[in-house]
Structure 1
Amino acid sequence: MQDVIIIGAGPCGLSAAIECERRGLSTHIIEKHSLVHSIYLYPTHMQFFSTAELLEIGDIPFPSPNEKPFRYEALSYYRKVADHYNLSISQYEEAVSVESLADQTFIVHTVDRSGQKQRYEARNVVISTGYFDHPNYIGVPGEDLDKVTHYFREAHPYTGMKVAIIGGSNSAVDAAMELIRVGAQIDMIYRGEEVSENIKPWVRPVFEAMVQKEKIEVHVQSTVTEIRQNSISIRNHDGQITEIENDFVLALTGFRPDRKLLTSCGVELDGDMEKPVFNPETMESNVPGLYVAGVIASGRNANEVFIETGRRHGLAIAEHISASRRTAQTD
């Protein structure tokens, strides 16, 4: 019987485990993939929007020679933090359901990569799963073709190719800037009137210069209507359909958290945004003893929660569990 089982070994899950361990709570983390898998899935050369200080957890300094750290630095940092605290982590083991028992304890059912089923008993459960497993599909014919991906890793495979980028967020702009360097011909299709206002300020002027130089053709107020093997069709705000020759499509339309674990044990979702019901001061859900941390606490808009804010969830959770245990011992 563990005091706390944490599902998800991202920065927010690691932070929750550290804070619980500091308070003498026995803790175990279950991770479907590898440690900080969401960061691993970021583009290979991605630079964070935040400073290193805002990504720190467990009061461990994040040393970086850069004002804004890169992905590879974050991977190294979080590995070292997990080692420093000697966190108990089961990697490549998927939590498939959480069972809430009558005595207010839980059983977490898992399956490892060899298909072996496991079960863990815990007095409290923290669900801190990410969202990169579930891209937002655009739902058009041809989206299942091999030329389409919802993940951009690096530019090299697209050298000299005609690439359509669907989206106008930081991920789309960053991909476009990398693709320019390998001589790709880029069409960016975005349904908004202009690319996101939240583009990294040091990237925006360079991006706009590339648009002016016609290195990138931006189609705003437009949507992709069909993807074919050698072309795509887009519709503009006037309803006009244009066909564009195309080799690859990067559908960078964002991701959404998986609610399966939440609903498996009775956590309520609030309205159309599918946001779990929880106390923002303690992060405890409507199911006593079950907590949410990180992006899973957001609604359909996963951008509500970032590492910078989600890393604080673990502190609130650990303090509430400790206080509840002290109250129970006194009673």
Structure 2
Amino acid sequence: MTDCVICGRATDGYACEPCTRPVHRDLIAAAALTDDTLTTIARLDRLPDRGGRTAPLRDDEPPTTPGGKPRQPNWLIEDRPTTPASALRPTAAPVNLDASSRVDAATGVITTWARMVIEERGLPTAPAPAPLAGPTCEPLQDCRRHRTCRAILGQHRARPGLSAAGRAALLLTNHLTWLRHHPAAAEALPELGQACRDIIRTVDRPAELELVGACDCGVRLYAKARAATITCRHCGKAWNTDSGRAEMTKHIRASLVTGAEYVTLHLRQHPGQPRKRVRDLIAQWARRGHIQVRGLSADGDPLYRYGDIDTRMNRLEDASSVA
């Protein structure tokens, strides 16, 4: 028996089964969302109520926006510069570049580890399609004579069930036992877990939701600030955000969280404590090496193990109560 390289528990490999199980769930969840990443990158996942305009404001325009927000007409503002009639109003970029960079980095991690598993285990891979040579016609769909035209048209119409990253994620779910016995487990499992969470957060988590804990199946739970109940997206279990708070927090102890996420969860249980004091304590412990930075979030914030912070916080509170 050896110590788990992630949590320190006794195990028969480099990483223990409890540390591997959340990665398995995250890989399944991320695989189901990889095909939706393009929708998020193209900003088609939600319709905003504001945006740029392709025409200047008119003096006779009603003082409300299409979304119902108040707007001052031009004639109420004497010093507003005159906009040329042919000018275009600035609009948002047609793609979400932040989401694109996060998804590219995450899918790169997943496919890289899948490639390592395939090569080291000698797994068969699907052969690359043979290059097509020959004439192509315009329009392509009207050609009935050439085999190459029919083959190319068939490729255009093909609809694979999952993207390459999705297939790589599902492949890894079948080889996690082998991977946790591999010397690279200390690097592979945290990287895969973080990559999957980046995909899930980018595609499947609205920005207005906050972390409230984790389900007993291991999936992190997010809810609106004043939501009374929340349902786990993985197992369907319903939780009461008040009565189930302690249990949801218990299940997230092994998860990686940012300092802000820990503060939100901590203040749900201790609403009287100052937010700034808790955040300052976390930053101080990190500087002194009392808690270990275990990675970075999609926004570049340091990630800590929730249980590491909570253990020190409980010790501090116990010492204060004794004093």
TM-score for both structures, normalised by structure 1: 0.24
Q: Normalized per residue, which structure has more helix?
A: 2
Q: TM-score, normalised by structure 2?
A: 0.25
Higher radius of gyration, 1 or 2 = 2
**Structure with greater strand percent:** 1
